[in-house]
């Protein structure tokens, strides 16, 4: 069982917006503004999409945005495109001795 | 460009050892903290170990503490993971990842493709 809870799957049609949630505790998501989101296509390495809750690394589309409220962080993808179909993982800094925790991942299907 | 290339995976019997390597290029390896992250077949990501840029500080997941050792050779731009007393539940793709300097959190901005470790008799 992963430390952070994500829905197993989400789906949307091209052009629509979807949101993926990531729920933790006050020891991780709720306690620090260090939530990150990663995109992983099958057989590929994860790619950093969002860091520090809301920030996008250079080169990441502005269709990707992040937010947080309490112990739950969210990734929103607007204007869905076929190439967005992938697994998405959240992570957070944690005060526990595991230093970083991940969610179980959410599979995004673009219908 | 930044490249991280893992090697050393394979099939190993329970209780045996294996050493993974991660060759880094395209950046100043000695300036960055580095991670090992694993992904069991069909499962999510799990942090395994973290080492500071100078090798002086190391952190481990509880699931591998006492069995795995992370270390690095900054003169050869290589990260290692020594895995002893391997168990079936260690079967996974092991990725090395660079800790980003754009955040104070444990954010990983570049990842390798990974190397598969299968623990089976």
Phi-psi region of A99 (alpha: psi -120 to 50; beta: other; left: phi over 0): left
B47 contacts on A by Cβ (under 8 Å): 98-102
At residue A1, the pLDDT reads 58
At residue A43, the pLDDT reads 87
With a cut of 90, say whether residue A61 has pLDDT above it: yes
With a cut of 80, say whether residue B5 has pLDDT above it: yes
B45 touches chain A (CB under 8 A): yes
Classified as helix, coil or strand, A7 is: coil
Q: Between A47, A51, A98, which is nearest B107 by CB? A: A51
Chains A and B: how many Cβ contacts under 8 Å? 76
**Interface contact flag, B95 A57, Cβ < 8 Å:** no
Q: Give the C-alpha separation, A53 to A69, whole Å.
A: 10
With a cut of 70, say whether residue A30 has pLDDT above it: yes
At residue B3, the pLDDT reads 96
Among B92, B103, B113, B114, the residue to mutate for chain A (most A Cβ within 10 A): B103
With a cut of 70, say whether residue A2 has pLDDT above it: no
Q: Are strands A64-69 and A47-50 parallel, antiparallel or unpaired?
A: unpaired
Residues contacting B73, CB < 8 A, separation 6+: B80
pLDDT, tens digit (0-9, with 9 covering 90-100), for B62-91? 999 999 999 999 999 999 999 999 999 999
B95 touches chain A (CB under 8 A): yes
pLDDT more than 70, % of chain B: 100
């Amino acid at each position: 069982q992963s430390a952070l809870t994500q829905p197993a799957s989400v789906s949307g049609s091209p052009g629509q917006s979807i949101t993926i949630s990531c729920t933790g505790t006050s020891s991780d998501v709720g306690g620090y503004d260090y939530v990150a989101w990663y995109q992983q296509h099958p057989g590929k390495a994860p790619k950093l999409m969002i860091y520090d809750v809301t920030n996008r690394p250079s080169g990441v589309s502005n269709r990707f945005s992040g937010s947080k409220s309490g112990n739950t962080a969210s990734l929103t993808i607007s204007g869905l495109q076929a190439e967005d179909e992938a697994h998405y993982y959240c992570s957070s800094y944690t005060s526990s001795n595991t230093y970083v925790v991940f969610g179980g991942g959410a599979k995004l299907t673009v219908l | 460009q930044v490249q991280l290339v893992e090697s050393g995976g394979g099939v190993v019997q329970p209780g045996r050892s294996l050493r993974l390597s991660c060759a880094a290029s395209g950046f100043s390896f000695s300036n960055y903290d580095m991670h090992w992250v694993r992904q069991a077949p069909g499962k999510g990501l799990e942090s395994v170990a973290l080492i500071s840029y100078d090798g002086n500080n190391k952190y481990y997941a509880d699931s591998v503490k006492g069995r795995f050792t992370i270390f690095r050779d900054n003169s050869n731009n290589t990260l290692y993971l020594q895995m002893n007393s391997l168990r079936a539940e260690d079967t996974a793709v092991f990725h090395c990842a660079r800790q980003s300097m754009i955040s104070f959190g444990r954010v990983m901005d570049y990842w390798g493709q990974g190397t598969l470790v299968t623990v089976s008799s």
